[in-house]
Amino acid sequence: MFDTLQDRLHEVFKNLRGKSRLTEADIDATAREIRLALLEADVNLGVVKEFIANLKSRALGADVHKALNPSQQIIKIVDEELVAILGGEARPLRFAKRPPTVIMLAGLQGSGKTTLAGKLGLWLKGQGHSPLLVAADLQRPNAVNQLQVVGERAGVHVYAPEPGNGVGDPVQVARQSILHAMSKLYDVVVVDTAGRLGIDSELMQQAADIRAAVNPTEVLFVVDAMIGQDAVNTASAFDDGVGFDGVVLTKLDGDARGGAALSIAKVIGKPIMFASNGEGLKDFDAFHPDRMASRILGMGDVLTLIEQAEKTFDAEQTAKAAEKLLGGRGEFGLDDFLQQMQAVRRMGPLSKILGMMPGMGQMKDQINNIDEREIDRLEAIIKSMTPAERANPKILDGSRRTRIAKGSGTTVTDVNSLVNRFFDARKMMQSLGGQMGGPGMPGMPGARRQPPRQAPKPKGRGKGVSGNPAKRAAGPAEPAAAAAQPEWNPADAFGLGKSGQPSDADLAKALGDFQLPPDLAKMFDQPKNQGPR
């Protein structure tokens, strides 16, 4: 949604980089470009004026002129001002001291209230609550049935005593739902109310009656982020007529300019509490102004990415895979690779995940062109292998790869590409793990002990120690103190004694322990009456 604004801001900041000092003309030009970018994004005019005024007053201050990198200081100011117009700090959901907590959803028809009720129920369930969805929209055709389907998909119970489609009293349903929740020990009640195509007296009266009947802990106004400035006008009218505590933005994954998201919190004075950015039930989370500002500026959203990874990945399974990857126990195989790939897929579309990573704002076209079906083909190839082949891909010869290609509906080239990329990725991760202190590194558990370093030879023309082991052994005896701390002899690493010459016992032991490689040993194990092949 914020792609256009993000591109414009990137061009503005690109012109600032490399300047060691910013003049007043530079700041005016930057402010003008940012103003145009915000207006093109359909941000409210009053919000834009206040934003630019704060930007110029802070940019002309001493902090920017004394900064070592003025352009980065300007970016910091823009980031802080974006966070301010998005609401400042994240506003958590309030819960009643005495259950059940009642959450009332309101908004225009088509804003996505019913689907959002299922998403909110699933989110509350993940937070350890026991939610109940209430079908109080009895006017829109099949609204009750839709909520029942969404609730079943989310694994959340739905209270729907009336069939809807114009039949039943929504105020009575809402009132009875509280008694039902108390008797069945539900601690959160989410009431889905009816909407209209526009603000009218009937809608306002019904919403006010339901609010009076259930006395909700939170009233959330659901806004379609794609309708632009009309979302701000609708929210203002609803706040004046009924009142609400927070805003929920839906359809943030759309291609609209996103001005409503940047305007509504500042104009209405109500915090944005949740955001929905997809059609899936899991495409829903609490709204964090600082993270949204970071996304708009192309700096990614690492915290949300980490939170999603923590919810998706199995910590024990990931630890075992990392241990295998670093050579601690067994070897990282295609089964482990498949498990990690499936965990990444559970986080959501790859384009969405990559978009949260810092620096990926300049690769939007490549990210948007990612083919999600490619992962399905990789999964089909791996599942067409036997357990032994997944554990040790090195045994995959030509016939095995042909069989796997036929079983997965791909080509041998696809199989070869997967195997080669897997080996390359495993080698790279093992090297990175070693550099970061993996097994085998000095000072780490399981590390191989390194021989002590020899003391440097003294400078000058004085007598030094001979590098020939034989001459050194024949030289004068060393002091007793030196003998008490024997110096490491390079010859010892090759099985030689202190004299530099192997003894008979050393040779016998070395020859007894020596083993030829298996392929080479076969050449020497042939019967004597057979010549070489």
**Beta bridge mates, 246:** 220
pLDDT surpasses 50 at 68: yes
Mean pLDDT confidence for 417-422: 87
pLDDT in tens, 263-303: 888 888 888 899 888 788 888 888 888 877 777 776 655 56
| Cα–Cα distance, 176 to 159 (Å, whole number) | 9
The pLDDT-based confidence of 528 (bands split at 50, 70, 90) is very low
Interacting residues of 516 by C-beta distance below 8 A, sequence separation 6+: 524
> In this predicted structure, which of 41-50, 173-182, 225-234, 265-274 has the lowest mean pLDDT?
225-234
250 is in an annotated binding site: yes
Q: How confident is the prediction for the chain on average, in pLDDT?
A: 75
- The DSSP symbol for 217 reads S
The whole-number pLDDT of residue 241 equals 80
User: Residue 491: is it exposed, middle or buried by C-beta count within 10 angstroms (0-12/13-18/19+)?
Assistant: middle
Q: What's the Cα-to-Cα distance from 286 to each of 93, 123, 248, rounded to whole Å?
A: 9, 9, 9
- Beta-carbon-side half-sphere exposure of residue 516 (alpha carbons within 13 Å): 8
- Beta-carbon-side half-sphere exposure of residue 77 (alpha carbons within 13 Å): 25
- State the alpha helices, DSSP H only, in 369-468: 373-383, 387-391, 398-408, 412-435
Instruction: Among 2-16, 104-118, 326-340, 349-363, name the most confident range.
Output: 104-118
1 or 156, which is more confident?
156
Residue 206's closest CA among 132, 110, 137? 137
pLDDT surpasses 80 at 332: no
Q: What's the Cα-to-Cα distance from 194 to each of 169, 353, 476, rounded to whole Å?
A: 12, 34, 102
Q: What is the DSSP string of 294-313?
A: HHHTT---HHHHHHHHHHHS
**Is beta strand 284-286 parallel, antiparallel or unpaired with respect to 272-276?**
antiparallel
The pLDDT-based confidence of 48 (bands split at 50, 70, 90) is confident
Which domains occur in the chain, in start order? 3-85 (1.20.120.140), 101-299 (3.40.50.300), 306-435 (1.10.260.30)
DSSP 3-state of 69 = coil
How many CB atoms neighbour CB 380 within 10 A? 15
91 or 428, which is more confident?
91
| Cα–Cα distance, 259 to 367 (Å, whole number) | 24
45 or 451, which is more confident?
45
111 is in an annotated binding site: yes
195 is in an annotated binding site: yes
Mean pLDDT confidence for 122-143: 91
How many CB atoms neighbour CB 148 within 10 A? 17
Mean pLDDT confidence for 61-71: 62
Instruction: Among 18-22, 43-47, 219-223, 291-295, name the most confident range.
Output: 219-223
How many CB atoms neighbour CB 450 within 10 A? 8
514 or 422, which is more confident?
422
The whole-number pLDDT of residue 303 equals 60
253 is in an annotated binding site: yes
Q: Kindly report the backbone phi and psi dihedral angles of residue 152, in degrees, each rounded to the nearest multiple of 5, phi listed first.
A: -65, -40
pLDDT in tens, 2-23: 667 777 777 777 777 767 777 7
112 is in an annotated binding site: yes
441 or 211, which is more confident?
211
338 or 149, which is more confident?
149
Q: Kindly report the backbone phi and psi dihedral angles of residue 50, in degrees, each rounded to the nearest multiple of 5, phi listed first.
A: -65, -40
The pLDDT-based confidence of 79 (bands split at 50, 70, 90) is confident
Instruction: Among 27-36, 266-275, 341-350, 395-404, name the most confident range.
Output: 395-404
The whole-number pLDDT of residue 423 equals 84
22 is in an annotated binding site: no
Mean pLDDT confidence for 399-413: 91
239 is in an annotated binding site: no
217 is in an annotated binding site: no
pLDDT surpasses 50 at 492: no
Q: pTM for this structure?
A: 0.62
196 is in an annotated binding site: yes
114 is in an annotated binding site: yes
The whole-number pLDDT of residue 520 equals 45
Angle at 453 between CA 450 and CA 457, to 5 degrees: 165
Is there a contact between 246 and 271 (Cβ–Cβ < 8 Å)? Answer: yes
- State the alpha helices, DSSP H only, in 244-372: 259-268, 289-296, 302-312, 315-325, 334-346, 350-355, 364-368
> In this predicted structure, which of 140-144, 249-253, 272-276 has the lowest mean pLDDT?
249-253
348 is in an annotated binding site: no
Mean pLDDT confidence for 175-180: 94
The whole-number pLDDT of residue 144 equals 92
How many CB atoms neighbour CB 332 within 10 A? 22
| Cα–Cα distance, 52 to 55 (Å, whole number) | 5
Residue 314's closest CA among 336, 343, 342? 343
The pLDDT-based confidence of 349 (bands split at 50, 70, 90) is low
Which uninterrupted H or E stretch holds 510? helix 504-513
pLDDT surpasses 90 at 163: no
The whole-number pLDDT of residue 314 equals 62
Q: What's the Cα-to-Cα distance from 470 to each of 423, 456, 473, 494, 495, rounded to whole Å?
A: 47, 21, 5, 15, 15
Instruction: Among 276-280, 441-445, 473-477, name the most confident range.
Output: 276-280
Q: What percent of the chain has pLDDT over 90?
A: 19
- The DSSP symbol for 359 reads T
| Cα–Cα distance, 262 to 5 (Å, whole number) | 11
The pLDDT-based confidence of 327 (bands split at 50, 70, 90) is low
> In this predicted structure, which of 206-215, 288-297, 443-452 has the lowest mean pLDDT?
443-452
Cis upstream peptide for 271 (omega within 30°): no
339 is in an annotated binding site: no
The whole-number pLDDT of residue 434 equals 56
Q: What's the Cα-to-Cα distance from 332 to each of 392, 396, 397, 423, 444, rounded to whole Å?
A: 9, 16, 19, 10, 20
Instruction: Among 1-10, 132-141, 352-361, 515-524, name the most confident range.
Output: 132-141
Q: Kindly report the backbone phi and psi dihedral angles of residue 396, in degrees, each rounded to the nearest multiple of 5, phi listed first.
A: -75, 105
- The DSSP symbol for 226 reads G
Mean pLDDT confidence for 518-529: 48
pLDDT surpasses 70 at 391: yes
